[in-house]
Structure 1
Amino acid sequence: MLDFMDNVQNAFYEVSHWNVDNSYGALNATARALLDFHTPKGLRLQISSLAAPNFATSYTLGSVGVVDGSVSYLYSSLPLKQEFRSSHLELHRVIGGYRTLQELRRPDEHWWWEVWHNGARIDRRVDTLLYGRIFLPQSTLEALYLRRLSPTRQLKITAVSDSTLNNGGTILALLQNDVGKYSTEYMYSTDSALMGVRGLYNFGTDPRVEPAAPAGAQELVEPVHGRFSAGAELYYGLLNKSGGISTGLRFTTLPNHTGFPYTMTLTLNPLMGNLSSTYAVKAGSNLALCSRFDFNFYSYESELQLGCELWRRRHNTDVDWAAKKVRADWKRPTVAPDDDVSGILKARVDQNWRIGVLWEGRIKEMLFTLGASLDLRKREQIFRGVGIELQYSS
């Protein structure tokens, strides 16, 4: 389940019209959500609040052997008016699962961001997000500075201060460009003076260009039901004199696809010899399945993982449905649109019989995540970890 502050950051991206899925880093987002989910250990409680449309706070307390926690604050220059209360929050916004990509959006015009007063241009629109969190008792500090430089450009700077790291911390700067048809990213990290570049290209129509129909044609343009994308990344560390390269392909169906939505990806790292392929399908309105096969053509080692996500819903009678319909027509709903969800089950297993299980949902006004990781090959200690996370936000 997404952290409260991660959900607030996603809301900032949404309000500022930034597509987080149109990047090479998000190529395998669906497979990661269904196969690489985090299983909690011990007990963790998070209490958060959007005190104002531009300011959020969050406090976390955990117990995994020792008591630890964190305090975080977030400021957004854009007012965030989405629903963040845990009792009303849509679970689809905080529970990662199968990601249905939307149609590419045409970028905002540059003149939309200009500010004029008395016939004179006085400034440009600047959307900024600031975030900071301190971990206790380690006194580790992390910070985020996010700024929209233009309708197609964004600067993201993250920093971590920790005495256990080299030079006492690290800073990562990322300059992102997204014009819809393609996106590019330029990276620099103080850790090993790492420099990198990556990009993603979407085949098909260009959202910046209006489709032109032939003269005299009366037929509508045939809609596109899928999107094929290709990307690559290249990085090099100036201090350790080492680098890397990878490339990837993705095909995914769009919302207007009439059959089962599915996503296929293929990524290759030629220097390390790693080849990875994934296939995810939304087999029903409440069920998603995913598989991933990794192979190294230098060592001939391989790995297979399978995962699923099942949304369990309550069986409401026709009378209950009619009553809810009448209440929705006469007054504003006081519950979330998916209040009929009783829980979400996520599970994964690999060829070595390592299993991860999650049960997520809402109890009254609190979100919960109950998880366990198992290793069936270790008969003397099958359970590797069990935990529960509770979130309350107002």
Structure 2
Amino acid sequence: MREFMDYIQSVFYAATGWNRDNSYSSLNATSDALLNFPTPRGLRLTLSSLATSQFATSYQLGTVGVVDGSVSYLYSTVSLNNAIAESEKIPLPDLLRSYRPLAELPRRAEEGGQLEGGLIKDGLAYGRLYLPASMLEALVVRRISRALQFQLSAVSDRKLRNGGTMLGMVQYDEGRYAVEGLASTDGGLLGARALYNFGGDVAHLDTQTQPTTTNGNGTGNGERERIFGRFSAGAEFYYGTLNKSGGMSVGTRFATLPTHKGTPLTATMTVNPLMGTISWSYAVMAGSYCSLASRMDFNVYSYESDWAVGMELWRKRTTWSINQELEEVPTSVNTTPERSFQEKLEWELDSPPLPLDTAEVLPPLEPVAQPKKKERSFQAKMEWRLDDPDVDSTVPTTNENDDENDDQYSGVLKARLDQHLRVGLLWEGRVKSLLFSLGSSIDLRRLDSPFRTLGLEVQFSA
């Protein structure tokens, strides 16, 4: 399960306008989330709190062989009130969904290339102490401008060489392209990453002004059939000054944008020429409640190949919980008197009672007209979407952001399978105010003891 502190960090990046997906390191973020999700081990309890609008704390206690835990603190110069701290109000898709569509790139003020907005100087500081190992990790993020960010992370542990390690990173995101430079004390590592975007929102195409032929629903078939997405290509280089070794990789990605009318999908390919490894991945959001992913790895030197498939299936809210909410809605009181026993035997109605005051006689209640449910068209079912809302404003329409509405979800089931017949299962959801994560790692080749790991994580924030 995504930890509360990581969720707060994502809120900080969103509040400062930083796009975490526009980076070469996030090229395979969607497929990795669907195929490499961690399964819990043992029992772990996490208590978090957003003490103020800029300060958050988290305490974790676990039992994996021995009792361990951690204490975390986070401070942000930006107000984090937009991050709903109560665990019962945090939207489940924001916290648990693996498939994340790419965010739209910010518009430019002019063709010169400067992003909208002036200089900003926001920062975030995060620290975490692991007990009883006494390992300490820290993270400092400093925004210099809309396009420039500095990040410093460190780990202190006596088991590490020289007692710890430190990594510094400078990130420059101009929208159309993004570059990163990094340096680490571990082996004297120096590296650089770059990512360049093509097409889609990079070209600033206005689909509303393009001439298209309209169908019966009043929208253009050409706009729906055309795949509106962004193509990205990048590379990374790194070299260890102490061990005199280096490496590199290149990769490409195509992903649809939120404005795409069809099925959201993401396809990536990465190549490591020194190791001879080629990797392909494909992820698709098959529906509002289902996401699928697959990955294929091949080595041109040894001819070895690996594959993995994954699935994410969301569960809708149960009917009984909806009926409970409907029962709380006050209903009108029935003013019709019940017939007497004598009148029932004589098969007639009682005489109308004489009102004490004619002004107190209530008018008869008119039946409320129930809106007729409109079935989706065949074209909409084939494109995994809802029909376009009618022009008539009197007819209630469906909200376009229903997929992001947390009220329709109660949990999510994640599963994966690789060529070694290793299965990973994870069930995440919410019970009252508690967020839970129950998972297991299963090895089908060892049927005598297939369960390799089994664990339960519970989180609560206030």
Q: Same fold (TM over 0.5)?
A: yes
CA shift at 1:242, angstroms?
0.4
Question: Could you say which structure has the higher strand fraction?
Answer: 1
Q: Secondary structure of 1:345's partner?
A: strand
CA shift at 1:256, angstroms?
2.0
Partner of 1:91: 92
1:151 counterpart = 2:219: no
* Map 1:296-375 → 2, pairs under 5 A: 296-316=299-319, 320=323, 323=326, 337-375=405-443
CA shift at 1:320, angstroms?
4.6
| 1:333-369 alpha-carbon deviations (Å, 9 max, x no partner) | xxx9413322200000011110000000001001000
Partner of 1:174: 169
1:148–1:155 Cα contact (<8 Å) kept: yes
Unpaired runs of 5+ residues, structure 1, are 115-124, 328-335
Change (3 A) 1:382 1:210: closer
Partner of 2:101: 100
2:200–2:231 Cα contact (<8 Å) kept: no
Amino acid corresponding to residue 106 of structure 2 in structure 1: R
CA shift at 1:211, angstroms?
6.3
CA shift at 1:305, angstroms?
0.3
Task: Measure the CA separation in 1 of the matches of 2:322 and 2:453.
Answer: 43
| 1:273-293 alpha-carbon deviations (Å, 9 max, x no partner) | 111000111111100110000
Q: Secondary structure of 1:282's partner?
A: strand
* Map 1:99-138 → 2, pairs under 5 A: 99-106=100-107, 112-113=117-118, 125-138=120-133
Partner of 2:280: 277
1:263 counterpart = 2:258: no
TM-score w.r.t. the length of structure 2 is: 0.76
Partner of 1:142: 137
Q: Secondary structure of 2:11's partner?
A: helix
* Percent of aligned pairs with the same amino acid: 53
Partner of 1:46: 46
Partner of 2:13: 13
Amino acid corresponding to residue 374 of structure 1 in structure 2: I
Task: Measure the CA separation in 2 of the matches of 1:36 and 1:318.
Answer: 33
Task: Measure the CA separation in 2 of the matches of 1:349 and 1:276.
Answer: 17
Superposed CA RMSD in Å reads 2.6
Partner of 1:118: none
Amino acid corresponding to residue 390 of structure 1 in structure 2: V
CA shift at 1:319, angstroms?
7.8
1:245 counterpart = 2:248: yes
Partner of 1:331: none
Task: Measure the CA separation in 1 of the matches of 2:116 and 2:407.
Answer: 42
Q: Secondary structure of 1:283's partner?
A: strand
CA shift at 1:102, angstroms?
2.3
Partner of 1:188: 183
Change (3 A) 1:220 1:139: farther
Task: Measure the CA separation in 2 of the matches of 1:319 and 1:276.
Answer: 45
TM-score w.r.t. the length of structure 1 is: 0.88
Q: Secondary structure of 1:192's partner?
A: coil
Unpaired runs of 5+ residues, structure 2, are 213-222, 331-403
Partner of 2:373: none
Q: Secondary structure of 2:100's partner?
A: coil
Aligned residues: 372
Change (3 A) 1:111 1:97: closer
1:106–1:179 Cα contact (<8 Å) kept: no
| 1:72-93 alpha-carbon deviations (Å, 9 max, x no partner) | 1000000111212101000111
Task: Measure the CA separation in 1 of the matches of 2:322 and 2:152.
Answer: 53
Change (3 A) 1:107 1:383: farther
| 1:61-81 alpha-carbon deviations (Å, 9 max, x no partner) | 000000000001000000111
Q: Secondary structure of 1:12's partner?
A: helix
Amino acid corresponding to residue 174 of structure 2 in structure 1: V
Task: Measure the CA separation in 2 of the matches of 1:318 and 1:170.
Answer: 50
* Map 1:30-69 → 2, pairs under 5 A: 30-69=30-69
Task: Measure the CA separation in 1 of the matches of 2:322 and 2:101.
Answer: 33
Partner of 1:76: 76
